[in-house]
Structure 1
Amino acid sequence: MTRWVMGIDENGMGPRLGPLVVTSVLAEVDARGERTVHRKLRGEITARLGDSKALVAYGEGALGEAWARAIGERTGLDVGSPARLLGGLLLDPEDALRARCPSAHASQCWDDADAFVAPEEAVAQARADLTTLLARGVRVASVRVVKLCTDALNEGAAKGRSRFAMDLHAMERLFLSGVESARRSDRTDTADLRATAGKVGGYAFYGSEFGPLAGRLHTVLEEGRARSEYAFPTLGRIAFVRDADASHALVSLASLVGKWARDLFMQRIVRHHRRFGELPDASGYHDPVTARFVERSLLARKERAFPDACFERAKRATAED
């Protein structure tokens, strides 16, 4: 007997620039596989599967890219270019995301002049690691990415929605997407998806904060600083766990792929604004290099009437709110 499980994590909660990316990994597991994903991995695979913040720094996207490409190959996505692969991972259609972009400046987010950077050896290793996980009872079925761009974050903040709420609601959407995938695969109207997500904003009580899951009948299984879990009839369960990226294999995988996706979007931002002046390679976080990027691009942005809301998060939409 098999079960559907999911890991969800976010990347880019608090930067000045670039999107908040929320990523899910859905897998079908047997009893052995369920034990595998819910325990901290051991052995040499831990050098390639763990919390992205511990394994890689900004600009070191080869590991997450290798995982994304290997999973894309196995799940039938177009892996011919970073743009086509990312397009296949996005939960929302690219056209819908583009619709909010000023046409004159859309290349900041949608310039597709990206190139893969992972060596073939890294992609081959990711393929081998997927085979290892399969042998341990874990079949990775899909990866989905929600992109919350700077404009969307600023718009939400202006309406009183915190970045934590927007992160949580993206996680809920991914959970519901996983439920639908499980139902289609099993050809049933019910599901018992077991999802694990990283803790959001230090919340202990999530019921009153739910968005897409609001109003649905549910049972509180546990609520605390370290773990909060909720059961939804015909859907499954979702648990929010502190440091989940260090203890749950699918959350770790979501963290790595999500970091690759966020870095790709950030590199597009840098590339776009470098067309109008010499600028440093900014990570988008609260660091001196990003500060210089913001300052040195200011004049060119003003001359081109580049919308501030599309460029930099308002303070209330960053880690400083």
Structure 2
Amino acid sequence: MRIDRLHAMTVFVRVVESGSFTRASELLGLSRASVTIAVQQLESYLKVRLLQRTTRQFKLTPDGAAYFERCVRILTDVDEAEGGFETKAPVPRGRLRVDMPPALGRVVVMPRIHEFCAQYPDIDLVLGFGDRRVDLIQEGIDCVIRVGELEDSTLVARKLGVYQQITVASPLYLRRNGTPETIGELERHYAANYFSNCTGRIAGLKFIVDGRLEEVYMKGDVAVNDVEAHVQSGLDGMGIIQAARFLTMPYLDSGRLREILPDFPAPAMPISMIYPTSRHLSLTVRVFVDWTTELFRNSALVAPRLPARPKHNASVYAAECDESSGRDILSVQEETSLAT
């Protein structure tokens, strides 16, 4: 079978990125039937199934996911080769889908995102806020911001900053129950507990004691799976909590929360931007990664450097789900420099 492979690759990539044959046809200016035929011809030519289709949606097969990444690289090479003959510098454009933890996105990213949109008006930015497990390739997500220790894989990570937690309680709670001075005294106290969306397990309070990690599980009358609801439960005097410093800072300043056990800090976790590995990172993704890196570098809410890690079992150190060792999005290799 003779087909225009470059055209078929382009159609296939647009279908995956847009998540829809109909949307891809609109972006390419083709009929939906033409888009469907192009993908079918590509599968026939390759003799593999790229997409697993149902009546309402499709899902990439393992072969399709691997081929998609190769197509992106090839099409990027073609665009850059052709762009070398242009008199003007290429302009970032197109759809960019990003996922991030809700609290981090609301407090750090959203107050400045209008600046990115003004700087890059040709980028159609789609922001998702959640901590569920996502598959970047299958769901057409270009990059994600995640918190926690990261493992090695085919994904790439650029460190943005540090997620520093702090142990706090409300003045109301401390008046009723006293202020603990040691880790051992927590046995007679209550926690407003947090549980993982992924595992459903209650997360213990984590402390660095003499260079080692200790995890304490406490009794409590309530457990929530949302970080802002978790902070609210602490404000309402329902127990001791560990929460991000950038979320608790306004309440510490106003006196509605007080730091406790300052000699036993919670372990800090890196904040990273994660995206699929590619020999050439697309210009649209690259400018967002660069912009976000600069945003976090200049933010007073997240520290730019990660303190030395305590001696501990890594599986205990990592928090659950999006504050995990990267299991929610596969695992990643640390980036030393962006592909150019």
TM range (shorter): under 0.3
TM-score between the two structures when normalised by the length of structure 1? 0.24
Larger strand fraction of residues: 2
TM-score between the two structures when normalised by the length of structure 2? 0.23
Larger helix fraction of residues: 1
